[in-house]
Amino acid sequence: MDRFRTMESFVRVVRAGSFTIAANQLGLSRALVSRHVSELESRLGVRLLNRSTRSLNLTEEGDVYLGFCERLFRDMESNERSIVRTRVEPVGTLTLAAPKSFGAVHISDAVIAFARTQPRLRLSIVLEDVSFRTYDFAEKGIDLALRVSAIRNASVVTRQIGFLDWVVCASADYLAREGKPVTPADLARHSCLVHTNVVANDRIWNFGGPKGRHSVKVKGSFFSNSALVLRKAALAGLGIALMPRYCVAGDLAAGSLVSVLPRYKVPSRPLLAVYPRSAVVPQKVQVFVDFLINWIAARDLNHEAPRMAQGAAVT
């Protein structure tokens, strides 16, 4: 017999002072409620109630067990209210995984701004490669991940929260030394700085231009999964980089890096929020994604020169 039902019947009988009234409150027969109490006593090996034709009285053991049952029911109700509350207000801890460079340059600012609006929510941001792989949310303890590449997985939900522009650039010193490419095909003879783990084939650079689409396989001379590291390599004159514009906007404006192939446009890449699919999206995830969409829409992250991306402060 269901232990919870027998405990519930016992508490109802004690509070009502009657098997008949307790049965009516529970929507059960009097015989079944009586059986519940008898089964409970049999399992515990003690008498809980002294029964007579006129009254019911708790035994000493019954009084102790009643206190235990009521504490258990109170804890259950409290925990259930806490769980329900997560559907209507953001509570607990929100753990976010974000790409290293974009997370450090921009998403950290968004998370800090969000934290000010949600003082009851604990926030944790993990900066690591999340772009070119399927993310195991349960294993990593992650509620939400940001990516710059699409993911095909029925177990997750993907929401587009913005676009990131990409630009081909190099230092003026490198271009003076090695020459400036005129068409995408010219990149094949240059030393290129390759951003790894972003797309499936990171050595294939794609362009749109006056005569349609162009693809070129570059020869990598320097590789990194961090756009900030590639930026430093480009500034040092090591080669031509295909970079997210947010990372080099200040350098392009200052002239320390020069746009290469300006007549050919590099396709923008979507910035995606990815989280586990479930019947009900946790409120903390929903609220943060909505906040991030609005936060990004209010800024020109592609052309804005973030404080981190200027000078020697970038690491």
Please report the domains of the chain, with CATH numbers, ordered by start residue.
3-88 (1.10.10.10), 92-164+269-313 (3.40.190.10), 166-259 (3.40.190.10)
Of 126-130, 230-234, 294-298, 310-314, the poorest mean pLDDT is in: 310-314
More confident: 243 or 133: 243
pLDDT at 280: 77
Of 73-87, 164-178, 205-219, the poorest mean pLDDT is in: 73-87
Q: Against a cut of 0.75, is the pTM above it?
A: no
Taking Cα atoms as reference points, which of 213, 300, 220 lies closest to residue 265?
213
More confident: 107 or 304: 107
| pLDDT > 90 fraction of the chain, expressed in percent and rounded | 34
Q: Phi and psi (nearest 5°) for 71?
A: -65, -40
Residue 88 has pLDDT above 60, yes or no: no
Decide: 88 and 117 in contact? Cβ < 8 Å. Answer: no
Residue 48 has pLDDT above 70, yes or no: yes
Residue 304 has pLDDT above 90, yes or no: no
More confident: 107 or 212: 107
Residue 3 has pLDDT above 60, yes or no: yes
Average pLDDT, the chain: 84
Cα–Cα dist 214/230, whole Å = 23
Cα–Cα dist 276/33, whole Å = 43
Q: HEC profile for 103-155?
A: HHHHHHHHHHHHHHHCCCEEEEEEECCCCCCCCCHHHHCCCEEEECCCCCCCC
Residue 133 has pLDDT above 70, yes or no: no
